Structure 1
């Protein structure tokens, strides 16, 4: 249930009349503000935490994102 409190309710579930007592909106940005993780880093995190496996970033796709490119340049 903690993951639902953090990520909100997935779109396909939010349309169902459930009484989970959680918001449909994600609180991930609130919990991991830009002061702690840059926007490009947050994009990787959000992609890796997608509910649906088809929507979730693969490790190979994540490594191609700008956040990892910055590490390669150093």
Structure 2
């Protein structure tokens, strides 16, 4: 589940080719949802923000982050 915002179309353009390349059996799905629709999005957003911010914020959440994939 991905938070729905003004860049849903761009999200799909990025995710689709990566999913096709790395998910051999084709069993990968995603959907966009409003932030209020799933409280777990709040936890993921906060963790991603803190990790991206770096410094002490990254230190605070580093044990929550199992893997980072750079798509650039």
Give TM-score, length-normalised by structure 1: 0.27
TM-score (norm 2): 0.28
| Higher normalized helix content (fraction of residues) | 2
